[in-house]
Structures are given as structure tokens and as C-alpha cells.
């Protein structure tokens, strides 16, 4: 079956770790799966990723960020996500459209209508079946990144990151049936089990071969 799952959250929340764990779990069960991330995967996406995260001495306007993320997203959807879903594959995406709403919409304070319009173009109308939000206090998440070289977004003020977190929680509250909010301060094993309990409910039984926890 095709299933589109995205992982979201602020800096240091552990979403990349958990998206990889879920991908490996599906592989062990012989369930066709593909793991992708934003921005990246495509040639254009990788170039945009470097520009947005690591460019030095370059001022990028919020509206330019919005459009660049969606340019990368449009190619990712067309080249990777849609073909995989068409082939009955579970697609796991590390960040997707809700990152743009949280970071550029809430974080940068952009007009919600403008953000929504750009996102509709970038996604081509493709909406995740499940959004997993790895929620963590801003200070704790950033502290996890202390040993890494900070990118443009990690360097933002605490107020920016707090707005991003608030945005995520508002998005999740608006669609509780499609979002799973997990406490990212727990152990990796506990978080993985919580995620699997929800994901397994969306998968076919396949003669009882898929455990529910």
C-alpha cells in the first residue's frame, strides 16, 4: 500500500533519528519503503539545501526562503515522492510542507495566505497521511546541537524558535486526526514504540505479520 508519513519538529528534536528507525523497521518487515528529506535528494534540492543552510554573508529574504524551499519541494514531489507512492511504497519524509508553515510562516511572521499559496504550488496538492511532530522545549533541543556547527536557522534567536514550536503545536491541534505529537524528551526506544503504534494502525495486517507495538 502507499502511505505518506512526514516527520516534523524544531532543532534537535531527533526527527531524523526516528525517521531512520521507522524506515529500518519497515524494511525488516519487507514492506516497500523510501526515506527522503527536505530540502535535498534531487540535484536542485541539494544545491538549495546548501544555499539555505550554509551560505555565509548572504542575506536571504523570508519570501526568498519560502520560494526556494518550495522549488526544492516541487522537484522532490515530482521526482521521488509521487513515483514511490504510485508504486505502493511507504514514503517517509524528514520535513515537508509543515516545516515551511512553521518556520517561514510562524517563525518569520510571513502572511499565512502567501505561505499557503506557495506551499500548494510546491506540494502539487500532495498531503501527508500522517504527520509526526517531535515536540521538545526550544532550549533543550538547541542544547543537543552544541557540538555541531550551527546552520542559518540554528543561529536564530530563541524567540524565533519559540514561534516555530508554537506554530507546530497549533497546526497539530487543528488536525489531531492526522498528527501524532510525541514527547521528544523521552528515550529513543519509547519514542520509536509510540510512533510504531500509530503507524502500524495505518498498515494492512498482511496475515498478522505486522506487530502493533
Give Cα separations from 192 to 3, 13, 19, 22, 57 (angstroms). Answer: 18, 13, 9, 7, 39
The pLDDT, as a whole number, for residue 206 is 44
The pLDDT, as a whole number, for residue 148 is 80
Omega before residue 64 within 30° of 0, cis: no
Residue 211 has pLDDT above 90, yes or no: no
Q: What value does the mean pLDDT take over residues 164-176?
A: 98
The pLDDT, as a whole number, for residue 170 is 98
Model pTM score = 0.93
What cell was used for 150?
550551527
**Nearest Cα residue to 38 out of 2, 56, 65:** 65
Residue 82 has pLDDT above 90, yes or no: yes
Residue 5 has pLDDT above 90, yes or no: yes
Residue with more model confidence, 149 or 133:
133
The pLDDT, as a whole number, for residue 55 is 85
Phi, psi of 209 (to 5 degrees): -80, -10
The pLDDT, as a whole number, for residue 168 is 98
Question: From 3.40.50.300, 3.30.70.980, 3.40.50.170, 3.30.365.10, which CATH number describes the 3-202 domain?
Answer: 3.40.50.300
Q: Is 206 left (phi over 0), alpha (psi -120 to 50) or beta?
A: left
Q: Provide the residue ranges of all domains of the chain, joining segments of one domain with +.
A: 3-202
Amino acid at each position: 500500500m502507499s502511505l505518506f508519513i512526514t516527520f516534523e519538529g524544531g532543532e534537535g528534536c531527533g526527527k531524523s533519528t526516528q525517521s531512520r528507525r521507522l524506515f529500518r523497521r519497515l524494511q525488516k518487515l519487507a514492506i516497500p519503503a523510501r526515506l527522503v528529506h527536505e530540502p535535498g535528494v534531487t540535484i536542485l534540492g541539494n544545491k538549495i539545501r546548501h544555499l539555505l543552510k550554509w551560505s555565509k554573508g548572504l542575506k536571504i529574504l523570508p519570501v526568498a526562503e519560502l520560494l526556494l524551499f518550495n522549488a526544492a519541494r516541487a522537484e522532490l514531489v515530482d521526482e521521488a515522492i509521487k513515483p514511490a507512492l504510485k508504486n505502493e511504497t511507504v514514503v517517509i519524509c524528514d520535513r515537508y510542507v509543515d516545516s515551511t508553515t512553521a518556520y517561514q510562516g510562524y517563525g518569520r511572521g510571513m502572511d499565512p495566505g502567501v505561505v499557503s499559496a506557495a506551499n500548494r504550488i510546491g506540494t502539487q496538492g500532495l498531503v501527508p497521511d500522517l504527520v509526526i511532530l517531535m515536540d521538545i522545549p526550544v532550549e533543550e533541543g538547541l542544547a543537543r546541537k552544541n557540538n555541531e556547527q550551527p546552520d542559518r536557522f540554528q543561529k536564530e534567536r530563541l524567540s524565533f524558535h519559540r514561534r516555530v514550536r508554537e506554530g507546530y503545536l497549533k497546526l497539530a491541534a487543528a488536525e489531531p486526526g492526522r498528527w501524532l505529537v510525541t514527547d521528544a524528551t523521552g528515550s529513543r526506544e519509547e519514542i520509536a514504540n509510540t510512533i510504531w503504534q500509530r503507524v502500524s494502525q495505518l498498515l494492512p495486517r498482511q496475515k498478522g505479520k505486522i506487530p502493533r507495538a
